Amino acid sequence: MKRMIVAAMLACATLALAEGNNSAIEQNLTQTEKGLWEAWKARDVEPFKKVMADGVDVGGGGVRSGDQVIKDIGSTQCTVTSYSLDPPTFKWIDKNTVLMAYRASQDATCGGDKVPEAVWASSLWVKKNGGWKAVFHQETPATK
């Protein structure tokens, strides 16, 4: 019985450590995602080059490569007045892959057209070469 209790305590401690590590990673990815929104607002392509160059973006305009996203971010095509992000939820696929999902509100125009005021967004983050990369991002206009 004593061994079972010790084994259960070790399992709980291991789980707590793993969740703690995930929590720190999730906080870091949340800040990185917010930084990408800020970079979009400022038309700063550098943060996108670091984490999304090899990624894919899906939105109302279709499917774009990471390189196309970077080109579009640097253009004068979009004007972002403000944005806000709700706290994200995370679904871990494995220790190196996590899906982040959240609701974003925005006041922006691109190519003279108003973008949806609210979207449901998701980003698939993968740990590659020692860093986290956004390999996929999508936005769907929110109806609620």
Beta pairing, strands 56-59 & 131-141: parallel
pLDDT tens profile 83-134: 999 999 999 999 999 999 999 999 999 989 999 999 999 999 999 999 999 9
This prediction has a pTM of 0.82
Closest CA to 36 of 58, 60, 53: 53
- Of the chain, the end-to-end C-alpha distance in Å amounts to 52
Burial readout 86-95 (b: 16 or more C-beta within 10 A, e: otherwise): eebebeeeee
- The domain that contains 113 carries what CATH number? 3.10.450.50
Q: Domain limits at 73?
A: 2-141
- Of all residues in the chain, the percent with pLDDT exceeding 70 is 86
What does the alpha-carbon distance between residue 134 and residue 72 come to, in Å, rounded to a whole number?
Answer: 17
Q: What's the structural domain count of the chain? A: 1
